[in-house]
Structure 1
Amino acid sequence: MQYQKLSDEELVSFLKSDNQTAFEEIYNRYWLKLFGIAFNETGTREEAEELVHDLFESLWNRRQVSVIRHLSSYLVVSIKHLSTNYIKSQITQRKYQEYLIFNQIQQSYSTDEIVNFTDLAKAVEEAMKSLPERSSEIFKMSRFENRSVKDIANQMNLSEKAVEYHLTKTLKVLKEQLKAYHTDN
């Protein structure tokens, strides 16, 4: 029998009867057309070939349950559907990869910030230990408790000038000992 001369309807009928030669004729008749559509949709030869292969595999596996009235339309619609699903999955996968990369960068940045802050806090603590006790206490009250010079002077029985002197002296020492943490930003 010459399968090339059979109509699409006859080929589908033979296909439903598990006729492999009818399947091969459908494959030969439509492969190039379907490849062209898939390639136009995906833009890559490999993906287009894979999608056409998947379509023909599905056609063979579902040959007895598929209802095919117009073979050409059925195959064209199927390849467009497969191509669209492929493109959607690629977009979803790209968005997911972007999310993972962004999340990893954000975690890395946060970790770096925490490490830097921890290092700086330890350096400040060490620098504060090198100061006289009174200067250290005045500085903590001023900078960590946000108390005014006048309030600190009253609490410690000092003049405001003495409090300012201690703050100036402490800032100079801290600036010198914390040079490594200074940025121009």
Structure 2
Amino acid sequence: MSLINTEVKPFKATAFHNGKFVEVSDADLKGKWSVFFFYPADFTFICPTELGDLADNYAEFQKLGVEIYAVSTDTHFTHKAWHDSSETVKKIQYVMVGDPTLQISRNFEVLIEEAGLAERGTFVIDPNGKIQVVELNAGNIGRDANELLRKVKAAQYVAAHPGEVCPAKWKEGEATLTPSLDLVGKI
């Protein structure tokens, strides 16, 4: 079963954010757009490149009213240690959620049970707490924050413009489509 248009399941966790340990829960997602960005583990190879890319683009997500939640099965203590020791990870200003109980990874169906690690899963969540975008990458394929920004903008556009859809490669400001019988066979 797809997670698209399903509500985020309840969770509570401790996160590392701006030099502090903070509690986060599903209630924090209500009323704003969010991205859950699962990655396998701290102190690895592809993960810091992805998290650094998100950090470099975080201001753009913030302009769109989007909060980023990076999630791995590491603890919040490990997130702090990694943040303190890596120049790339030190740039992060978004929330780094610890999921040592594996519950959040299970909720989003990205847990690799036999390894106790999360897949590279990306989820865009609307202000009602419903999942609008699901993306899964193999462990050896990194993600691109600019493509994620494009998907967030498309999700926000169609949420604000019922009846319109964003075609392939749609970018902000470009034409959308209004599905109708008149378009059938003409695209």
Interval of TM-score (by shorter of Structure 1 and Structure 2): under 0.3
More helix by share: 1
Give the structure, 1 or 2, with the largest relative contact order (CA under 8 Å, sep 6 or more): 2
Q: Bigger radius of gyration, 1 or 2?
A: 1
**Normalization by structure 2: what TM-score?**
0.20
More strand by share: 2
**Normalization by structure 1: what TM-score?**
0.20
